[in-house]
Chains A and B, each alone.
Chain A
Amino acid sequence: MDDSGDAALIARCLGGQQDAYEAIVTRYQRGLFNVAFRMLGNYEDARDATQNAFVKAYEHLNTFDPDQRFFSWLFRILKNECLNVLRARRPSQPVSLDMPSARGADPVEVRERQRAVQTALLSLSTEYREVVVLRHYTDLSYDEIAAALGIPATKVKSRLYTARQQLGELLMDWRVAR
């Protein structure tokens, strides 16, 4: 995600030019939505969480520290939205796994494997899932993930290691062969 020009757009938003925020949403919607989708496993929930995160970010834009990366700040807001969705789900409530294909039709086996990977992701605890999602589905570095999660980079690495161990066991039958 190229974040050049964010500061100018944010300054314009804070100066009262609302249309500048639409440019920010357009720039980050794909990245943020994919993170929400991988965290929640449900298209509608991901849409609501992403939308709420963007609205809350706009309302608190004056608290954004320009020394941080904007996506990291957005992620922290999104994470809270995702946690709200997860808390609202009753433990017994089954998650309907939406697996919309991005482009073109996939063979049945590929789709089944993707469903298994998403199910495995959802079976991780939130703290493990978020490091995997940020590491594999965004371009954030370890330091940026650490900043976004508010934990040391060493902790990010240890959580990622444990999470991958768990995923390795869960996906034993579905691993993509070399």
Chain B
Amino acid sequence: MTNINDPWPDDDVTRTLNDLPEVDPPATLAQDVMATIASRAAARTTYPPATSNKRGATMAKKVLWIVAATAALALIAMRLIGYPPVEKGTEATIGAAQRYQAQQVSNADVKTEDAQLQAFLQSDLFRQLATDKVAQQALKNKDFQKALQDASVRAALVSADARFAIAAAKKVASDATLVTSDAFRAALDAHAALKVAFESSPALRAALVSPDVVAAMSNASLGAVLARPDIAMMISQDAAAAKVLEAAQVQMDAAAVRYK
């Protein structure tokens, strides 16, 4: 193989090196590679990685037994001391049960629990998110927030493969044409849940026009949030998203002051 950019094109060493012939690779190399990839993928499916956290599991069992035993003792004690007291006149009352007939829960009824939000704001997940402007930009997108209220979207975006497929399709298509590109179509064909979500959610289709949202698809911290449908649901609510973004900004400002 000759090299046209060689600075010593005519010297003996160059000619001697270039005199070595190209060697044909093994004829079955490509097939061997693909077979190895397939067998490794099959092994991962058949044998999930073993957890080495045996000590943790044993400890968790012990804690569970202790909690159960404590609860049983508390119930026995309450029974013995006659708690809770029964009101006079209500003993042995027989009547039609007045059951609460709940309406089906709609998205508007979902109120973010403060406790859940507080727990999230104390978590490593939030600390990761708080240092990541790309993820925060995506979460500011109203279409994306609305899309996350849809269970099919949350289910589809739990998959890292699906998210990476969106990001990869973006690399070969401009932002405006991403959702109509062949690469994106291929990604949908390869990920059934994503296809369902994309076809059923106008909000997701609108969100994927935004470069911020698409850029965040291969982002680790947003990925960690989307991998938790409960957190994704919480963050899809305006109030919770605003609090998370505000807290993230406070952390970033504090970090900026520290490093000044």
Interfacial residues, chain A to chain B (CB-CB below 8 A): 7-8, 10-12, 14-18, 21-22, 25-26, 29-30, 33-34, 37-38, 43, 46-47, 50-51, 54-55, 58-59, 62, 66, 100-103, 110, 113-114, 117-118, 132, 135-139, 141-142, 164, 167-168, 171, 174-178
Contacts and interface: CB of A to CB of B under 8 A. Distances in A.
A17 B186 contact: yes
Overall SS of chain B's interface = helix
Contact of A102 (B3, B15, B16, B22): B22
Contacts of A142: 5
B248 to A, nearest CB: 25
B203 to A, nearest CB: 22
Nearest to B165: A15
Contact of B37 (A12, A38, A55, A101): A55
Interface string B185-209: 0110111000000000000000000
A167 B17 contact: yes
The 6 closest A-B pairs by CB, nearest first: A16-B190, A175-B12, A14-B168, A33-B25, A102-B21, A15-B187
Interface in B5-59: 5-6, 8, 10, 12-26, 29-30, 32-34, 36-38, 40
Contact of B8 (A10, A11, A14, A164): A164
Given A102-B22, A118-B20, A171-B16, A11 B183 contact: yes
Contacts of B161: 14, 16
Interface in B151-181: 161, 164-165, 167-169, 171-172
Interface of B: 1, 3, 5-6, 8, 10, 12-26, 29-30, 32-34, 36-38, 40, 161, 164-165, 167-169, 171-172, 183, 186-187, 189-191, 218
Given A139-B3, A171-B13, A51 B36 contact: yes
Given A11-B168, A117-B19, A168 B186 contact: no
Given A113-B16, A117-B19, A12 B29 contact: no
Binding site of A, secondary structure by majority: helix, strand, loop or mixed? helix
A7 B191 CA distance: 19
A12 B23 CA distance: 30
Contact of B29 (A8, A50, A101): A50
B30 A7 contact: no
Contacts of B25: 29-30, 33-34, 47, 50
A114 B24 contact: no
